[in-house]
Structure 1
Amino acid sequence: MDGDSGAQLDVTDLQVETQQSVKERESVTLTCNSSCSLPQKTTFIWFRNTQRLNTRTVKENQLQLQSVSRHDAGNYQCAVSGYERLISPPVYLNIEYPPQSVSVSISPSGVIVEGDSVTLSCSSDSNPPALIFSWFKENQSSAVGSGQSFSISSFNSSHSGNYYCEAQNKHGSQRSESVSVTVKGIFCKHSFSFICL
């Protein structure tokens, strides 16, 4: 700011400072700093993804977010009341969280016949993305596979059962609901066969 009359504020004078990443349910403070001298009773306003935020969470030049969720992630900017068009450059706040909504899909999705190739795929919602996936078959004490996909090249009745996956990132892990994978019949390989069991 310069003199009392014709006061000017350069957009480059305002900068948002905060942590680059914060874990879900933690608290974080964003600070709006200016390289020029501002009046003591300056009112700061905040924006997330260009939408103005409720100022009840603002203390002086700080925006305080308590127990953040993934919905708090986004580009944050600040401005001085009366100079809203001179807004600070955006700063992205990244909210990290453990795997959630873990689920299993089966391919092929229809009837599985003995001899088919079956692939189970595991998906999850997490930040950062889950990189460790483990596969389990109920009633077996150890994992039966790893990786985001688990394939059985020649499915037979011994493979039938309930399968689930577990997705993991650096913040934790979660398992999916079990899915039933059952052979529905036996492929008849010989054209001269009268009965396929």
Structure 2
Amino acid sequence: MELSPLPLLLLLISNIVSQHTEEKPKARVSIKPAQHVFRGETVTLRCDVYSEGVTSWQYIWYKNSSTSVFSDLQELIFSSVTESDAGKYSCYGAERDISCISRLSDEVTLTVSVPRAVLSVSPQKWLTEGDSVTLICQVNGSSIGWTFSWFTETVSSDNSNQYKQLSDSSRGAGGHYTVSSADLKHTGVYVCSAERGKPAYNSTISNTQPLWVTGEFRLNTE
């Protein structure tokens, strides 16, 4: 994120703010879409100060409790957030003639991670024909806001992985893909992936989960 030059006035405010200990309005940091986001998303942090009679504020941001001024903008916009943008952010505001200086906001922690898909099986991987089984796909522990795709994985003759999307993968909505009556043809190795946002960005391909389906045992009474 490109930062604008800091006016000398704001540096002066930064130096004297600790001297103002009487009760003053407190700055507040809001963050959208969430405090935990994934690499590549757009994130906006905004500093607001609510005080009667003050309509024109200047803003000071700090990161990771540093005494160095991070920015003088009311909004910090990370158009494609990376792990280096993660940290603890706080801010305060000052009226332009320095007649009113707010208290420092509480710190807000921005966490940035790579979206990793994780696949699990319930209740078990070993099945008999007719059993029900559910493949559960999550991204960093959550299924909210993601669209899931489901695949079988095979290894080609050159040892590269090949993925074939399941034709009925719409049943995977909400992170669950359920086979209500397992058949021998369901034996195989499964993976999943997820995407979110516009333009869409993707999670990693999940870990593999094998399913084994055996024929139903029937006692021969003849």
Show structure 2 runs of 5+ residues with no match: 1-18, 95-101, 154-162
**Cα distance change on mapping 1:177 and 1:74 into 2, 3 Å:** same
**Cα distance change on mapping 1:113 and 1:37 into 2, 3 Å:** closer
Are 1:54 and 2:66 an aligned pair?
Answer: yes
Corresponding residue for residue 179 of structure 1: 209
Give the whole-Å Cα distance in 1 for the aligned partners of 2:56 and 2:132: 70
Q: Deviations over 1:154-188 (max 9, x none)?
A: 212211112111211104122323322122x3332
Corresponding residue for residue 11 of structure 1: 24
After TM superposition, the score normalised by the length of structure 2 is 0.53
Structure with greater helix percent: 2
Structure 2 counterparts to residues 1-197 of structure 1, below 5 A: 10-12=23-25, 15=27, 20-21=32-33, 24=39, 35=54, 46=62, 53-58=65-70, 68-69=81-82, 72=86, 76-78=90-92, 87-90=103-106, 100-125=115-140, 129-138=144-153, 140=164, 143-146=167-170, 147=173, 148-170=175-197, 171-174=200-203, 175-183=205-213, 185-190=214-219, 193=221
In the TM superposition, residue 63 of structure 1 has moved relative to its aligned partner by 9.7
Show structure 1 runs of 5+ residues with no match: 1-5, 39-43, 81-85
Q: Is the 8 A contact 1:75 1:92 kept in 2?
A: yes
Q: Is the 8 A contact 1:11 1:88 kept in 2?
A: no
Give the whole-Å Cα distance in 2 for the aligned partners of 1:57 and 1:27: 20
Q: CA RMSD in A?
A: 4.7
SS in 2 for 1:182: strand
Structure with greater strand percent: 1
SS in 2 for 1:158: helix
**Cα distance change on mapping 1:57 and 1:69 into 2, 3 Å:** farther
**Cα distance change on mapping 1:111 and 1:154 into 2, 3 Å:** same
**Cα distance change on mapping 1:62 and 1:169 into 2, 3 Å:** closer
| Count, aligned residues | 172
**Cα distance change on mapping 1:180 and 1:93 into 2, 3 Å:** same
Q: Is the 8 A contact 1:122 1:149 kept in 2?
A: yes
Q: Deviations over 1:93-131 (max 9, x none)?
A: 76787x712011111225222221111111112899333
Corresponding residue for residue 158 of structure 2: none
Highest Rg: 1 or 2? Answer: 1
**Cα distance change on mapping 1:113 and 1:20 into 2, 3 Å:** closer
